[in-house]
Structure 1
Amino acid sequence: MELKTCESCGNQYDKTFSVIMDGKEHIFDSFECAINKMAPHCSRCDSLMIGHGTEANGKFYCCAHCAKADGHFVIDRPTQEKFDLENKKEH
């Protein structure tokens, strides 16, 4: 059984997993460590983004509200999908 070292917390563990991002392999012992090390932060409120978020002009935002606060016009996808479905019903 091979022990590998988590690059986030330094724990040596036999059940690590790897995440490949931009062609580079990263080793972690938990999703918590992977998220803390790999997830982007919102450009507006600095929240750790573990969901889809949104992107505008090369910046990442946790939600449409933060993007709008920085002057970008975006619509949260679930809201847009709901809008599209409601408009289909009306026509």
Structure 2
Amino acid sequence: MGICDVCGNSYDKSFDIVQGDRRGTYDSFECAIHALAPRCSHCQCSIIGHGAEHDGKFYCCAHCAKQSGIVGIDDRV
């Protein structure tokens, strides 16, 4: 039985995720997302989809990238 690294819940269906040199035990995808998902550089939401990246910064969507002054990122072309 694993103990979630985020909420501390002891759960018989916990799971481990390895991301590069990071490793964690989680009791739910919600906790895993909270711990591992990148944050949008503009609105700070968790990016759980593809998002967009420019110069090492992540954005949840083209709108947030544009609001941050990034040119050339579109949701649809």
Tell me the TM-score normalized by structure 2: 0.89
Q: Deviations over 1:24-70 (max 9, x none)?
A: 32110101111111111110011121111100111000100111111
* Aligned counterpart, 2:11: 13
- Gap regions ≥5 residues in structure 2: none
Q: Secondary structure at the match of 2:34?
A: helix
Note the aligned Cα RMSD (angstroms).
1.1
Give the length in aligned residue pairs: 76
CA distance in 2, matches of 1:17, 1:23: 17
- Aligned mates of 2:22, 2:61 — CA distance in 1: 28
2:74 aligns with 75
Q: State the distance in 2 between where 1:25 and 1:57 align.
A: 26
Unaligned ranges ≥5, structure 1: 81-91
Amino acid in the other structure paired with 1:52: H
TM-score by length of 1: 0.77
The structure whose residues are more often helix, as a share, is: 1
Which of the two has higher C-alpha Rg?
1
Q: Given that residues 2 and 15 in structure 2 are in contact (C-alpha distance below 8 angstroms), is that contact kept between their aligned partners in structure 1?
A: no
